[in-house]
Amino acid sequence: MKSTAVAQANIAFIKYWGKKDETLRLPENGSISMNLSGLTTTTTVEFSPSYQEDSIEINGIKESGERNRVMLHLERVRTMAHISEKARVATKNNFPTGTGLSSSSSGFAALTVAAAKAVGLNLSEKELSVLARQGSGSACRSIPNGITEWLDGETSDTSFAVSLHPPEYWDICDVVAVVSEGPKDVATTEGMKSAQKSLFFEARRSHMKEKIMLCKKFLAEKKFQAFGELIEAEALELHAIMLTSTPSLIYWTPGTLRIMKLCKVWRNEGIPVYFTINTGQDIHLICEKSTVEVLKNKIGEIEEVKNIIVNRSAPGAHLTDEHLF
């Protein structure tokens, strides 16, 4: 049977870094994120006894780099469904892959929903989130709607994402400034392995529960300035761990740094905007809907910016009838 799913990448407001279980991808801390309307992955999966091996194609190219990881996830689905058929997988992203825009979150969320449906599994949202997490940690957050929380569970069954607020809850926008369309130097999965080597890792972990509580409070009260200040400081703290790990991780480019510094200039000019950055070079500018156009004009003047992608809060992963093959 063939099935297709669509999923959105997400941006973490409160981020996770490091795993307490590498195999199950259990995070060192919980996190809060928002699904992004403009960063979409569409994935079609078909299992058939006529296929001799798993075939994986990403953006029209036969994939080798992610092949093993995708095959392992397909094997999880086969085990749950008690089947042995091989699969054909085709995936298409409408945004640059591997630059820090969380393509693995939307990729494995879409793969999970499509593959589960293709083999006839009737999984709940929680079960889909648990399964997606095992493919890519952040993928569990792209399963529920809107703004989501990844619960900091100690077991596989207690580590999954839930929706905190639906997409229409608040007019928060994420304006992505793409400063490099090439892949980042070190994949997130590899980078996390050195997290605990930072002298500041334990200090960060010690206040994550309080930080998550504050983020949820500011979201509930729609206090944009307090929310923005919190998530910008959180992004800098996360990258401080990366910078002080062994080996160090330096994802920023000159364009990234320039926009980070300009955010303070723009705020002094009366434009309420705050930045956050995932594990990559592209930068996310968080603002309210009323600020988007003026912000786009500002970003458009920056030489290093290759593209601008405006996002609002979006639904979680879902099925579609529009197949890729």
Please tell me whether residue 323 adopts helix, strand or coil conformation. coil
- 273 strand-pairing partners: none
Q: How far does Cα 275 stand from its chain's mean position?
A: 16
pLDDT tens per residue across span 246-283:
999 999 999 999 999 999 999 999 999 999 999 889 99
Residues 54-66: b if buried by 16+ CB within 10 A, e if exposed: bebbbeeeebeeb
217 vs 102, residue with greater confidence: 217
In this predicted structure, what is the pLDDT of residue 193?
82
Residue 109 neighbours by CB under 8 Å, 6+ apart:
5, 7, 41, 132, 139, 140, 142, 143, 316, 317
Does pLDDT of 213 surpass 90?
yes
In this predicted structure, what is the pLDDT of residue 100?
64
Interatomic CA distance for residues 66 and 232, integer angstroms: 31
Domains and CATH numbers, the chain: 2-166 (3.30.230.10), 172-312 (3.30.70.890)
Question: Taking Cα atoms as reference points, which of 131, 115, 113, 109 lies closest to residue 83?
Answer: 115
Question: Taking Cα atoms as reference points, which of 95, 136, 251, 134 lies closest to residue 186?
Answer: 251
Q: Let me know: does 282 contact 175? Beta carbons within 8 Å.
A: no
Calculate the alpha carbon distances from 190 to 20, 76, 240 in Å. Answer: 14, 22, 17
Question: Taking Cα atoms as reference points, which of 99, 91, 109 lies closest to residue 150?
Answer: 109
Q: Provide the token pair at 325.
A: 């093959």
| Mean pLDDT value of segment 286-301 | 97
Question: Taking Cα atoms as reference points, which of 205, 296, 231 lies closest to residue 17?
Answer: 205
pLDDT tens per residue across span 70-87:
999 999 999 999 999 999
Work out the percent of the chain whose per-residue pLDDT is above 70.
98
Q: Provide the token pair at 235.
A: 């992004």
Residue with tokens 């458009």: 300
In this predicted structure, what is the pLDDT of residue 310?
97
Whether a cis peptide bond, with omega within 30° of 0, leads into 96 is no
| Mean pLDDT value of segment 109-127 | 98
Q: How far does Cα 207 stand from its chain's mean position?
A: 22
In this predicted structure, what is the pLDDT of residue 1?
86
| Mean pLDDT value of segment 221-242 | 97
Each as own residue / partner, the long-range contacts of residues 187-190 (CB below 8 Å, 24 or more positions apart, any chain) are: 187/98, 188/104, 188/278, 188/279
pTM: 0.94
Calculate the alpha carbon distances from 123 to 130, 166, 171, 293 in Å. Answer: 10, 21, 31, 41
